[in-house]
């Protein structure tokens, strides 16, 4: 497997584009991803009980496991918009389908932005003509830009691998920035591949890849109403059927694409100045490991200490201690970087200057050893800065 340039249009037969249609005051706000051939498709959606209209519509359109286009807007979430919101999303899909000459059922929709406002249908429909006309394999980056909200950078990645001697490509784009929490956050990610793969295996691979990437990142613990990850496979690579070994290679490539995009989301999180990796080990099961890791990752006290470059590990111990009732202080060990600071619940005498250095790096590694079992989990997050507060106070 090797990393190649491009993103969502790196795989054969995919085209994309993005334009400014006027939902936002300025900047691109409408994206379209299109495959020349119908694709095997699957998706994962937010677990928030308040769900945006495009979530239910895309779910419905995926029932036949097939799709050929994805239309995405930023600037308006189309959430808490009732039945009218569903009608609006449906009308946009129909309009896209008509212009592309495909079935409306093969168009998926995604939205991100402010909750509680209707989509400006006229503006969007007017822009769809030029958007379809300009679709191109070179415009994946424009699509990545058009789905941004408070992101400061477009996020894309692509890889190439061999399956039975045939070149197969896999790429994707994503947006993130705020309201990022597992079970999908205000994040959207769209993955395309020219691999020939059946729906069952595409879905399995996507689920596994997302668990260890988009479902392992958090900015502030808020789960959005609009999250989705969609994967489209058009089979254009014409690889042989996937043997077990091939599937493993595909999984590995998909893992890489999802994790790369997830890390880009954290690095570009609202106000973030440091990238934080939290590893929890010796948990009784993965659920417990994740629970502890997320409690620490979402602790405002831990996050502000990291922002301040302040190795106040007592806050890490306190967060771990209230994450799960099975945690035992007398078995708890904590490392900052390679330095052990807590052993079986008691502080070790550590050179403070050494800890300061670790906490002033751009990337911070925290390891928490529970001493309760053999499971582990890794979660990625960022610090909590005054800039995060400003961005979200004013948004």
Residues that bind a second copy (CB under 8 A): 47-51, 77, 79-84, 114-117, 178-179, 181, 183, 220-225, 298-301, 304-305, 307-310, 312-315, 317-322, 324-325, 327-329, 332, 341-342, 344-347, 384-386, 388-390, 392-395
Judged by phi (left if over 0) then psi (alpha if -120 to 50, else beta), residue 213 lies in alpha
Non-local (6+) Cβ contacts of 51 within 8 A are: 45, 79, 225, 226
**What is the closest distance, in whole angstroms, from the C-beta atom of residue 284 to a second copy in the complex?**
14
Burial 344-383 (b: 16+ CB within 10 A, else e): eeeeeeeeeeebeebbeeeebbbbbbbebeebbbbbbbbb
* Smallest separation (angstroms) from a second copy to the CB of 49: 4
Give the integer Cα–Cα distance in Å for 386 and 394. 12
What is the nearest approach in angstroms of a second copy to the Cβ of residue 345?
6
* Gyration radius of the chain over CA positions: 22
Closer residue to a second copy, CB minimum distance, 137 or 308: 308
Task: Give the count of beta carbons closer than 10 Å to the beta carbon of residue 38.
Answer: 17
Instruction: Kindly state the smallest distance separating residue 37's Cβ from a second copy, in Å.
Output: 36
Classified as helix, coil or strand, 61 is: helix
Alpha-carbon dihedral sign for residues 256, 258, 261, 267: negative
Which residues, listed in sequence order, are joined to residue 109 by a DSSP beta bridge?
71
**In this complex, which beta carbon is closest to a second copy, that of residue 156 or of residue 225?**
225
Distance CA 212, CA 217 (A): 9
CA distances from 154 to 70, 124, 169, 264, 317 (A): 18, 22, 20, 9, 36
Q: In whole angstroms, how close is the CB of 184 to a second copy at the nearest point? A: 10
The distance of closest approach from Cβ of residue 174 to a second copy in the complex, given in angstroms and rounded to an integer, is 19
Count Cβ atoms below 10 Å from residue 298 Cβ, excluding itself. Answer: 20
Residue with smaller CB distance to a second copy, 176 or 178: 178
Q: Which two three-digit tokens encode residue 298?
A: 């979402």
Residues 6+ apart with CB under 8 A from 5: 158
Query: Could you say which of 9, 186, 192, 225 is catalytic?
Result: 186
Nearer to a second copy, 165 or 351 (CB): 351
Q: Which is nearer to a second copy, 12 or 295 (CB)?
A: 295
Pick the closer one to a second copy by CB: 237 or 297: 297
Least separation in angstroms between residue 31's CB and a second copy is 22
User: For the residues of 313-325, what is the DSSP string, one character each?
Assistant: THHHHHHHHTT-T
| 186 carries an active-site annotation | yes
Strand partners, 275: 363, 382
Q: Can you read off the two tokens belonging to residue 228?
A: 């989705």
Catalytically annotated residues: 186
């Amino acid at each position: 497997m090797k990393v190649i340039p491009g993103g969502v249009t790196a795989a054969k037969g995919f085209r994309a584009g993005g334009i400014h249609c006027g939902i936002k005051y300025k900047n691109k706000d409408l994206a379209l991803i299109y495959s020349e051939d119908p694709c095997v498709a699957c998706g994962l959606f937010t677990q928030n009980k308040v769900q945006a209209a495009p979530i239910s519509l895309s779910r419905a359109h995926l029932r036949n496991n097939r799709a050929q286009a994805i239309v995405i807007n930023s600037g308006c979430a189309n959430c808490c918009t009732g039945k009218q919101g569903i009608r609006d999303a449906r009308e946009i899909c129909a309009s896209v389908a008509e212009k592309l000459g495909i079935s409306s059922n093969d168009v998926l929709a995604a939205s991100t932005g402010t909750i509680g406002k209707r989509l400006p249908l006229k503006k969007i429909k007017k822009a769809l003509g030029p958007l379809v006309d300009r679709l191109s394999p070179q415009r994946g980056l424009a699509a990545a830009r058009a789905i941004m909200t408070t992101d400061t950078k477009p996020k894309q990645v692509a890889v190439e691998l061999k399956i039975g001697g045939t070149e197969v490509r896999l790429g994707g784009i994503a947006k993130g920035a705020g309201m990022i929490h597992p079970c999908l956050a205000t994040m959207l990610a769209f993955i395309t591949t020219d691999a020939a793969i059946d729906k069952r295996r595409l879905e399995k691979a996507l689920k596994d890849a997302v668990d260890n990437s988009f479902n392992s990142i958090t900015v502030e613990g808020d789960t959005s109403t609009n999250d989705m990850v969609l994967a489209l496979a058009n089979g254009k690579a014409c690889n042989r059927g996937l043997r077990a070994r091939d599937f493993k290679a595909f999984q590995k490539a998909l893992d890489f694409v999802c994790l790369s995009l997830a890390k880009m989301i954290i690095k570009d999180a609202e106000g973030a100045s440091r990238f934080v990796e939290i590893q929890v080990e010796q948990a009784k099961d993965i659920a417990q490991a994740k629970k502890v890791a997320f409690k620490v990752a979402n602790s405002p006290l831990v996050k502000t200490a990291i922002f301040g470059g302040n190795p106040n590990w007592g806050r890490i111990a306190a967060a771990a201690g209230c994450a799960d009732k099975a945690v035992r202080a007398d078995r708890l060990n904590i490392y900052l970087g390679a330095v052990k600071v807590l052993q079986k619940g008691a502080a070790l005498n550590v050179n403070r200057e050494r800890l300061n250095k670790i906490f002033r790096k751009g990337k911070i590694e925290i390891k928490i050893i529970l001493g309760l079992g053999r499971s582990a989990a890794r979660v990625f997050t960022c610090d909590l800065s005054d800039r995060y507060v400003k961005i979200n106070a004013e948004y």
